[in-house]
Chains A and B, each alone.
Chain A
Amino acid sequence: MIRFIVRRLLQLIPTLFGLSILLFIWLRRLPGGPETAILGERGTPEMRAAIRQNLGLDEPILIQYGRFVRRMIRLDLGTSISTKREVTTEFIQRFPGTVELTITAMVIAIGIGIPLGYLAARRRGRFLDHASVGGSLIGICIPVFFLAYILKAIFSENLGWFPSSGRQDPTLGATRITNFFVLDGLMTREWDAAADALWHLILPGLALASIPLAIIVRITRASVLEVLNEDFVRTAEAKGLTENVVRRRHVLRNAMLPVATSIGLLTGGLLSGAVLTETVFAFSGIGAFLAEAIDHRDYPVLMGFIMIIAIVYVLVNLIVDLSYSLIDPRVRVR
């Protein structure tokens, strides 16, 4: 097990190295540069040239890359061109928001998706089945930003049940420890702050959950259907086990393997930031910030964030692989 983990982590090194080369070349090849974003309408060619020179962007790309690698080795991701704060600081400020949002969305998606998919499979061909399959198709098709606006218009603008943007009511003046607002509220016993942060997560969490939910419903349904037809299920039923035991021990457990894989992939995807949801809900996470960084050609932020996201992605998938052995005792990681 330990060897498995170490080997997977070692694989990160060539992955990151290759990714950094590709990213570096791709980013530098984009037309325009940060100088235009910095200066806006006010830029003159001389001022733009001066900024390029200052940022070292007029040097050969190899030298620029060398500087980047030297910094990476010292674990220094550099400073954002547009905010002048360290990339690591920016990440620490924004990543917790994305994590909270991802967890909320996945709790919703798993909490509803697996039971719904299971029930749909058990009642194959009946109303619930058609409804959940059709509903999940809509879930996949509906653009997230559209859903986000609709949710806001109904539950926030009209009914006033939920806040429509941000991560927490700023007038609360809540204490910041980890930047995980719910956790911070618990840690400092600012219960109202924790509740408020949780409240802010519901609508964006719902919007973001729509696609994973739909996928989980479909995969669970398909997987359960497949397992139901397996010989061992018939055997279990034949030897007189109660329906409950058959379902829990034999059907669900075996059906969960492909679901776990997709949950891992979906979580990894959500962790790289939900650009649209974060933008529509003015939610401070890494997705919206990355989108801005592309507009500003903020190379250090783009490089740094994408590298960290790659690491997170690999780690999440590692955890998923490890979880197989929990679900299925036959699987032994080596």
Chain B
Amino acid sequence: MRASRPKVAIAAVAAAALAVAGCAESDREGSSGSSKDTLVFGVAGDPKVLDPSFASDGESLRVARQVFETLVRPEEGGTKVSPGLAESWEPDAAGTTWTFKLRSGVKFHDGTDFNAEAVCVNFDRWYNAKGLMQSPDVTAYWQDVMGGFAANESDTLGESLFKSCSVTDPTTVALTFSRVSSKIPAALMLPSFSMHSPKALQEHDASNVSGSADDIKYPAYATEHPTGTGPFKFKAWDIANKTLTLERNEDYWGDKAKLKSLIFKTISDENARKQELRSGGIQGYDLVGPADVEPLKSEGFNVLTRPAFNILYLAINQKGNPKLADLKVRQALAHAINRQALVDSKLPPGAQVAVNFFPDTVEGWNGDVTKYEYDVEKAKSLLAEAGASDLKLRFHYPTEVTRPYMPNPKDLFELLSADLQAAGITIEPIPLKWSPDYLNATTSGNKHDLHFLGWTGDYGDGYNFIGTFFDRQKDEWGFNNPALFEKFKTADSTADQAARVALYKELNADIMNFLPGVPISHSPPAIVFGKDVTGVKASPLTDERFSSAEFKS
């Protein structure tokens, strides 16, 4: 009798399954033990690269912070510069040479010693970058902080702030800079200045960024062999399953990690992360939607609120509409919007109305500046005085995006645009996709009058906020204020911390008088952990240390 087709098909599938079964070796180690020592943490995106020298995205840096360490690092849960691989540090009288006393007995994951020589190998590697390593999207943070290289290959680069590194003895190293800068030592807390094993760097050809300019390829070190001193070691990056696995560094110099392994799992959709936490597939995730904070708390999850270290502002482009160059018009805008109502109704619990363009956790914050209370009548009369009663403004806002400082741009836009219309201003809404359309439109050209944008600080120095916005002429704001720019220059090159902080206070007052835009709010972003996970302290810099995470028994 002839077998029927379905039977043949089933038999064929079964035969194929038997044929492939066991035809390859399993490289799995014995069972991973109890899952109570493995934490799976949900993140919004894949890391881009595992060598933080080449990273500028949050997810790459989050991984780097567990695998690598820097000379100085933020205090746990804060922004203050505190000891990392260096136990102490001090500048010389001129403020250009900084001497770091290093911790002894620290070993890299490959067993080699961390010492002064290793520090110099690392700095020399960055400083002597050649070819594609000088590309702005490869070494973004080095270029942002240091401004250039030993031999610049592009006209857009300037003189490097870093000049040289010298070994005094195995635990003492001196870094010399070309000038005094507000960035030192705070910027050295950035994961991009992490210490790598010189042996691993050489073995895996870590500086060999190859390919052509439009086709950059990273060396294997940056994707497969990151070797630092941190509490976790890199184990595997499974791109096909969107997971990255780290394991405990048993030879860590400090308190060893309580978890045996730590897995970062990419779940880009915010709701999907929440569902996965509830179903138990992950035991924590970042970028919690503001609306989910209270429900998750009431379900018993550990929702941690980071101290706010960001700013959301309403930017005004003085070139976009000539009337916006009139201070009275800008003051009218500031009086027209009800920032308190916005913070109360649209931002997560703990958010505050901003008084300066940086949060009060940063030194130099000034409570004694011109404030613009909500007053529609005043706004109307200021507009009338300026002859701008018929003001019409193009208001850009981004769609489909959540930033730590701006959870729901469309809601914010609707609220503010209603406020502005109440003051008699005609608003032309221009919604754009965040990347690249929105960012492009608001930071270049002259088609924008008003828009939202914000910033999350990289490190705890005021210049990183206000200097980034206002220290030179930018298309985003469209103003030229030489006196202000000059003061920024002075502040940046003031070595004395107290004197610099005093200048930041003055600058904050100047900015609020000049009113290039309106600071709106500081929002505390939330991070959540499973009901039985404890030990992690929320950090304003998103520098959460998973080594202290553990499961409650």
Chain A residues within 8 Å of B, Cβ to Cβ = 31-51, 53-57, 67, 78-79, 82-86, 90, 93-94, 96-97, 149, 152-153, 156-157, 160, 163-177, 179, 181, 183-184, 186-190, 279-282, 284, 288, 292, 295-297, 300
Contacts and interface: CB of A to CB of B under 8 A. Distances in A.
Given A50-B135, A166-B242, 18 more contacts: A43-B443, A51-B137, A54-B135, A67-B214, A78-B215, A83-B48, A85-B239, A149-B275, A156-B279, A164-B272, A166-B265, A168-B241, A171-B38, A175-B26, A186-B21, A187-B24, A280-B271, A295-B433
A47 B156 CA distance: 8
A276 to B, nearest CB: 10
A165 B281 contact: yes
Contact of A50 (B156, B265, B279, B468): B156
B24 A170 contact: no
B474 interface: yes
A200 to B, nearest CB: 9
B483 interface: no
B215 A79 contact: yes
A173 B246 CA distance: 12
Contacts of B216: 54, 79, 84
Interface in B202-224: 211, 213-218, 223
A293 to B, nearest CB: 12
Given A55-B214, A164-B281, A189-B21, A47 B136 contact: yes
Interface stretch (B27-35, B174-182, B286-294): B27-35
Interface in B465-486: 468, 474-475
B191 to A, nearest CB: 15
B262 to A, nearest CB: 11
B263 interface: yes
Contacts of A281: 272
Contacts of A163: 279, 281
B280 A160 contact: yes
Interface in B254-305: 261, 263, 265-269, 271-272, 275-276, 278-281
A56 B436 contact: no
A185 to B, nearest CB: 9
Given A79-B216, A165-B267, A165-B281, A44 B474 contact: yes
7 contacts: A38-B137, A40-B439, A47-B156, A153-B275, A171-B38, A188-B24, A281-B272
Contacts of A284: 239-242
Interface residues of B, number: 72
Interface string B6-28: 00000000000100111111111
A93 B240 contact: yes
A167 B240 contact: yes
Nearest to B212: A56
B40 A288 contact: no
B133 to A, nearest CB: 12
A26 to B, nearest CB: 16
Interface string B60-85: 00000000000000000000000000
Interface of B: 17, 20-29, 32, 35, 38, 40, 46, 48-49, 56, 132, 135-137, 140, 144, 154, 156, 211, 213-218, 223, 236, 238-243, 245, 261, 263, 265-269, 271-272, 275-276, 278-281, 433, 435-437, 439-440, 443-444, 453-455, 468, 474-475
A106 to B, nearest CB: 14
Secondary structure call for the B interface = mixed
Contact of B266 (A48, A53, A174, A282): A282
The 3 closest A-B pairs by CB, nearest first: A32-B436, A36-B436, A282-B267
Contact of B439 (A41, A164, A177): A41
Given A54-B214, A85-B223, A282 B242 contact: yes
A177 B215 CA distance: 27
B34 to A, nearest CB: 10
B213 A54 contact: yes
Given A41-B453, A282-B276, A175 B27 contact: yes
Contact of A175 (B24, B444, B474): B24
A93 B239 contact: yes
A51 B440 CA distance: 14
Contacts of B278: 157
A47 B215 CA distance: 18
Contacts of A300: 215
A34 B28 contact: no
A127 B265 CA distance: 46
Given A156-B279, A297-B436, A45 B443 contact: yes
A32 B440 contact: yes
A48 B132 CA distance: 16
Contact of A165 (B27, B272, B440): B272
Contact of A170 (B217, B265, B275, B280): B265
A165 B276 contact: yes
Best-surrounded residue of B156, B261, B275, B279 (most CB of chain A within 10 A): B279
A28 to B, nearest CB: 13
B272 A31 contact: no
A34 B22 CA distance: 44
Nearest to B400: A295
Nearest to B35: A171
A34 B135 CA distance: 14
A177 B24 contact: yes
A51 B239 CA distance: 26
Nearest to A79: B215
Given A96-B240, A156-B275, A173-B29, A166 B281 contact: yes
Contacts of A90: 239
Nearest to A32: B436
A41 B193 CA distance: 21
A37 B22 contact: no
A50 B136 contact: yes
B393 to A, nearest CB: 22
A173 B276 CA distance: 19
Nearest to B474: A44
A83 B242 contact: no
A272 B28 CA distance: 32
Contacts of B239: 85, 90, 93-94, 284
